[in-house]
Amino acid sequence: MEKSWKDFLNNQNVEKDIFDYIGSLQEFVGQMRPKTFGEKQQIETAKEYLKEVRKLAKRLETKNDLLEAKINILEHNLSDGEILDG
């Protein structure tokens, strides 16, 4: 079997992004079993925070994609010798 495929199957050299980590944390928090009402409240708060972190990460990813697209356009324009106004 090809080495990279074996590494993938063994979960080695797999680049993780923020959403992988958030998902792992959500799974971990979801498996917690509170023993007191206070612990239950803390777990619920942690779940809400993770939802908000996921939303913010998605917004950042969208902004990053937009900025990368703008950079590509600027680089393309510069490589074509166009002069930018402003």
How far apart (Å, rounded) are the C-alpha atoms in residues 80 and 17? 34
pLDDT in tens, the chain (86 residues): 566 666 666 666 567 899 999 999 999 999 999 999 999 999 999 999 999 999 999 999 999 999 999 999 999 988 887 655 54
User: Could you give phi then psi for residue 62, rounded to 5 degrees?
Assistant: -65, -45
Domain ranges of the chain: 3-79
Say which residues have a Cβ less than 8 Å from residue 40's Cβ, sequence separation at least 6. 34
What is the DSSP code string of 32-66?
Answer: ---SSHHHHHHHHHHHHHHHHHHHHHHHHHHHHHH
Determine the pLDDT at residue 40.
97
Determine the pLDDT at residue 16.
83
